[in-house]
Every structure is written in C-alpha cells, then in structure tokens.
Amino acid sequence: MALLQPSPHAGPQSAAADVGGSGGEGRSRAAHGPRAPLSARERALAVFTYFLVVYRRTWRGSIIGRFLSPLFFLLAMGIGLGSLVDNRVGGVGGLPYLQFVVPAIVATQTMWVAMGESTYQVLGYIKWNMGYHAMLATPMTVRDVLRGHFLAVAAHLTTATAIFMAVASLFGGFRSVAAVLCLPIAILTGMAFTTPIFAFTAKQEGDNGFNILFRWIVTPLMLFSGTFFPIEQLPGWMQPIAWVTPLWHGVEACRAVATGSVAWLPFFGHLLVLAVYAAVGWWLAERSFARRLVP
Amino acid sequence: MSSSTTAPRSTPPSTRGRVSAQLARLVPMPAGAGLARMLVERNVVSFRHGWIALVTGFAEPVFYLFSLGIGIGALVKTVTTDSGAVVSYPQFVAPALLAASAMNGAVFDSTFNVFFKLRYAKLYDAVLATPMGPRDVAVGEISWSLIRGGLYSAAFLVVALLAGAVGSWWALLALPAAVFIGFAFAALGMFATTFMKSWVHFDYVTLAIQPMFLFSATFFPLSTYPEALQWVVRATPLYHGVALERALMLGDVGWGVLGHVVYLVLLGGIGVVGTARRLEKLLLS
C-alpha cells in the first residue's frame, strides 16, 4: 500500500497532472504503478499550464508590446490628435475624441496580441522547436493541444486588456461604468483573430506569410475599421469591406458599451459575427493542425 | 591602433585603393578597401527573390495616408502648422509619413536583416575573408538601405502627388531629404545592432521607433505639446526629418532647413564610424 502514497519526490513533474483534478486524485497520479487516464479537461489544462510556466520566464520581453504600445497610441491619438479634433469640431458625434478612440484601441490591441501569440510562436512549436510534436507524443490529441493553447492566448488577452483598460480609465477614456464589459468583448474579438491565424500559421513554411499578414491585414484593419474615425467618413465602396472584418465589429461593440449607448440588435449582431469568426477559425485550425502534425 | 595594422593588408594595389587607405588613416575609421559597392551588388542579387517585401514596405505609408488623410481629414478639415501655414490634413500628414517611412525602412533593414547576417548567416565573416574591410561592410550595408529607402520614398512621393498632398516644386528635394533621414537611421540602427545579442533586444528598437513615429509632430503639430515637452520632441531625430520634409513639400523653406540636414548627417556620420569600429572589434579581433 505504501506505493500508492503520494511520493515526496514527485515535485514539479506532478504539477501539470495536478491542475485539473481534485487534490487527492491528482496527487495519486504522481505515485508509481498504473494510473487512470487524464480526462479531456485535464489534458487541455496540462497544455495551458505548460504555456503558463513558459510565460513565467519570458514575460519581461512582452512588456513593451503588451503594455507600452497601446499606451503610446492612447497618448498620441487620444490626447494629441484628440486635442486637434476636439478644438476643431468638438469631438466625434458629440463625444470627446479620447473617449471615441479608447474603446477602439482596446479592440485593436487584442488584434495585436492575437498576432503576436499566433504567428511566430505557433510556427516555432510546429517547426522550429517541435514543441507540439512533443506534446502529441503523450496521450494528448491535437484537439487538447489547441484547446490548451487557445486558453493560454485567452489568458494573455485578458491580462493585456485589463491592464490597458485600467490605465485608460485613469486618463478618463471611458464614459460609462458599463465599460468593464469591454473586457469580455475584447477577449472574444481577440479569439476571432487567434483561431483563424492559428489555422493560417499551420499552413506556413517560413515567415514570409506573416510579413504579408502584418502589412496587408493587420495595419489596414487598424486604419480602416472605424478605429480612429467613423467608417462613414470612408468612401461608400469601402464601407462594406469594414462590415466583414472582425475588427470593426469588435470596435463597435466595445464602443457601444464604453459610451453606454447600446443598440441591442446591432450589438448582438457584432457579437455573433465575432463568435462565428472564432468558431470557424477553430474548426479550420483543428483541421490544418491535424494535417500538419499527425502523420 | 588596430586600424593601422589592418589597413595595409586589405589595400588593393590601385590608386583608388591607396587614396582611400590614406583617407582611412586620416579619419578615425577602421580599414576598408573602397569596395563597398561589392556588398551592395551582393544585396541586389540576393534580393531578386524578395521583391514582394519591397512592395509591401511601400504599402504601409500609403495606407496611413489614405486612412488618416481621408478619415481625420474629414473631421479636422485644416491644420495650422508650426510655421503658421494653414493646410489640409492630408497635406499636413503626408510629409510626416514620408519621413516616417524613410525611418522605418532604414531601421528595419539595418537592424533585423543585419542582425541575421551578422549572427546567423555569418555573412560578414565571409566578406572580411576577401580584400574588403569592416568599413566597406558598414558603408555597403548602409548604402543598400538608402537605395531601398529611396525607392520607397520616390513611390510614396508619387502617391502623395496624386493625392494632392504636394504643394510646391521644392517637393523635388523631398526625395534627397528622405535619403538623409534614411542615412541617419540606417547608420544608427546598424550601430545599435552590433551591440545586440538576441532577438529579444529588438524590443528596444520598437521602444525607440514607435514613440518617435507617434510623437514627432507626425499626426499633430508641435504646438499641441506643453512647452517643456516640445523641447524633448525637438531633440529626437525623426522630428528633424518630419520638419524637413514638411518644409519642402509645403514649399515653406527657410535657412532653418539646413539645420535639420546638419543634424541628420551628423547622426549618420556617428553611426557609420561607430558601426565600422564595432564590426572591426567583433569580427577582426
């Protein structure tokens, strides 16, 4: 019976298995001898824990992109350009320019985070350090790996958005307390980018595609999705393009709750589009990961 | 000094080589053989397959011009520049975007690409095994950056002209001005790259470039800032680039323009000498 007692030397190795289950059950897995297979939830959480452990070592490097970048945009666009706009025309639709642009930066930042987490990093795990292959050599499936990794990206999105929103609220960037709802909307917006980009990355051989993604998708989306000015200012033929891009829906939904003027039908429409992007992207990601990683 | 010990070894027996070798002894500059053009040629050949990157580099400022020019332009209508001229928003922002794209192109090329060549491809180890010296590498890479940046700037200038954002014949000089901006940033960027040890350090490049892009009187005039901050902005290199381009493209030219040029050339000179010295130290000692 002594063999079934938790081993005092199990240490960090048991951490991953520990996460999912209830305390006693998790610890008994560290013991020698035959053990029960991990549940699907435990497998995904084990992947998530792996990414958490990695991030604990590398978080310093992400501070600049994660925190300072949106702050710079807030200062330059919200306050600098904002003073120009406010002096000229008294804001956008009666809203001070800062409060117009801050919810949009919240949504745009999630696109940046999604890009940062789903391009080079993912290709690295697929191709350069074979991290996914290592995970798939365990009882984990492609589905578990993706669920765990998406959960990790969602955690990144949450912290990045929460920090930026706290700072932006100090500058008076939000008009209504309902702006806290920007957080879940931003996470959804971020996932609407993350899952399709995962699917795209799994089809890449080198990083050329990422440059094209950055230059031809991310930058134009930031500039033409109603972020810095309402899309009504664009020529008529360009407006329908904004309607199909996920960023515009994220921006509009965040702006609606942040200014406290939610028109329910369009609001749920925006959320629905984002959810569809995330779901279809997820499906495509599972498909292209399976093709790439499972022989 | 190590420069005097390496100079004779790498000097080819031509008059031109002798002159440049003597020059190299006069200025505090590591050795070269006047062969920088060979490195440029090498880059042109290796870039034949990378033309798509050239096209995408040009697209970014054009997107900014159309987005902000149309969108913000419709909101603010006109802007009063720091010299008191009243211009439309696209006219205000186009010169700044030209300067910023000259900076971005130069920095991207002289940091990421050079870092890869220096640390991974070991290109310069190979180059220095030929008669070429570290100065040739510095001058060659920076010249290549300038050629690439010059192409971007020329293309952007044509777009700005078509968009009605060019107000004067002085704008013809905006192209050489963009080359000065590219020179300053390419040289400084390559100098900084020689100190970098890992890709993580490129976050510091972003940390330097992004605030300059956003705050150098690019999207709103200097007068928006409080007095004390105006002096901070005036100290940054991109501000001088933006002010120079804006003066030229709006035809608002005075002697002050030369001040901006001197500032940029001085920075670039520091960058070239620094780069050559660091390369010598890294690869030849």
- Tens of pLDDT along A117-139? 999 889 999 988 889 999 999 88
Which pLDDT belongs to residue A192?
97
Residues of A with CB under 8 A from a CB of B: 61, 64-65, 68-69, 72-73, 75-77, 80-81, 83-85, 88-89, 92, 208, 211-212, 215-216, 219-220, 223-224, 228-229, 233-235
**SS3 at position A130:** coil
Alpha carbon of B50: minimum distance to chain A alpha carbons (Å): 10
Whether A81 and B220 lie within 8 Å, measured CB to CB: yes
A61: nearest CA partner in chain B: B200
- B248 vs B25 pLDDT, higher one: B248
Q: What is the pTM of this model?
A: 0.81
Segment A220-228 shows an average pLDDT of: 91
Whether A211 and B215 lie within 8 Å, measured CB to CB: no
Which pLDDT belongs to residue B24?
57
Highest mean pLDDT among A245-249, B124-128, B139-143, B204-208: A245-249
**pLDDT score of A26 more than 80:** no
Which pLDDT belongs to residue B239?
95
Q: How many CB pairs under 8 A join A and B?
A: 88
The single-letter DSSP state of residue B207 is H
Which pLDDT belongs to residue B31?
64
Note whether A195 and A282 are within 8 A (CB): yes
Whether B59 and A228 lie within 8 Å, measured CB to CB: no
- B151 vs A248 pLDDT, higher one: A248
Q: Which long-range contacts (CB under 8 A, 24 or more apart) does A120-128 make?
A: A120/A207, A120/A210, A122/A149, A122/A198, A122/A201, A122/A202, A123/A201, A123/A204, A123/A207, A123/A210, A126/A201, A126/A202, A126/A292, A126/A293, A127/A205
**pLDDT score of A6 more than 70:** no
Alpha carbon of A177: minimum distance to chain B alpha carbons (Å): 28
| A198-202, A276-280, B103-107: segment of lowest average pLDDT | B103-107
Non-local (6+) Cβ contacts of A148 within 8 A are A43, A44, A45, A46, A47, A48, A50, A51
pLDDT band at B10 (very low <50, low <70, confident <90, very high): very low
Residues of A with Cβ-Cβ distance to B67 under 8 angstroms: 220, 223-224, 228
Residues of B with Cβ-Cβ distance to A208 under 8 angstroms: 52-53
Alpha carbon of B20: minimum distance to chain A alpha carbons (Å): 40
Residues of B with Cβ-Cβ distance to A235 under 8 angstroms: 70
Which pLDDT belongs to residue B19?
65
Average of per-residue pLDDT values in chain A? 86
Residues of B with Cβ-Cβ distance to A98 under 8 angstroms: none
Alpha carbon of A126: minimum distance to chain B alpha carbons (Å): 19
Domains of chain A by residue range: 40-293
A69: nearest CA partner in chain B: B210
- Alpha-helical (H) ranges within chain A are 13-20, 23-29, 40-63, 69-73, 82-89, 97-118, 120-123, 131-136, 142-170, 182-201, 208-213, 219-224, 239-244, 246-259, 264-293
Residues of A with Cβ-Cβ distance to B82 under 8 angstroms: none
Which pLDDT belongs to residue A282?
97
Residues of A with Cβ-Cβ distance to B70 under 8 angstroms: 233-235
**pLDDT score of A250 more than 80:** yes
pLDDT band at B134 (very low <50, low <70, confident <90, very high): confident
Whether B70 and A220 lie within 8 Å, measured CB to CB: no
The torsion of the CA quartet B95, B101, B102, B106, rounded to 10 degrees, works out to 170
Measured in whole angstroms, how far is the alpha carbon of residue B132 from the centre of its chain? 24
Whether B56 and A73 lie within 8 Å, measured CB to CB: no
Alpha carbon of B190: minimum distance to chain A alpha carbons (Å): 21
Q: Choose, out of B220, B222, B233, the residue to mutate when testing the contact with A (most A CBs < 10 Å).
A: B220
Which pLDDT belongs to residue A267?
95
Task: Please tell me which of the candidates B76, B203, B221 has its beta carbon nearest to residue A88.
Answer: B76
Segment A241-246 shows an average pLDDT of: 88
Which pLDDT belongs to residue A200?
96
Domains of chain B by residue range: 34-284
Residues of B with Cβ-Cβ distance to A211 under 8 angstroms: 53, 56
Q: Which residues of A182-204 are buried (b: 16+ CB within 10 A; e: fewer)?
A: bbebbbbbbbbbbbbbbbbbbeb
Alpha carbon of B252: minimum distance to chain A alpha carbons (Å): 22
Residues of A with Cβ-Cβ distance to B152 under 8 angstroms: none
Residues of B with Cβ-Cβ distance to A74 under 8 angstroms: none
Alpha carbon of B11: minimum distance to chain A alpha carbons (Å): 40
The span from the CA of B148 to the CA of A244, in Å, is 35
Write the pLDDT tens digit of every residue in A152-187: 999 999 999 999 999 999 999 898 888 999 999 999
| A83-92, A98-107, A264-273, B171-180: segment of lowest average pLDDT | A83-92
Whether B71 and A73 lie within 8 Å, measured CB to CB: no
Residues of A with Cβ-Cβ distance to B53 under 8 angstroms: 208, 211
Whether A84 and B211 lie within 8 Å, measured CB to CB: no
Write the pLDDT tens digit of every residue in B164-187: 888 788 888 999 999 999 999 999
Residues of B with Cβ-Cβ distance to A85 under 8 angstroms: 72, 75-76
Q: For residue B98, give the H/E element and its range.
A: helix B89-108
Which pLDDT belongs to residue A278?
97
**pLDDT score of A1 more than 60:** no
Write the pLDDT tens digit of every residue in B23-67: 555 555 666 667 788 888 888 887 776 666 667 777 888 898 988
Whether A61 and B56 lie within 8 Å, measured CB to CB: no
Residues of B with CB under 8 A from a CB of A: 52-53, 56-57, 59-60, 63-64, 66-68, 70-72, 74-77, 79, 200, 203-204, 206-207, 210-211, 214-215, 219-221, 224-225
Non-local (6+) Cβ contacts of B280 within 8 A are B2, B3, B6, B30, B31, B134
Whether A80 and B219 lie within 8 Å, measured CB to CB: yes
Write the pLDDT tens digit of every residue in B67-103: 888 888 888 888 888 888 888 999 999 999 999 988 9
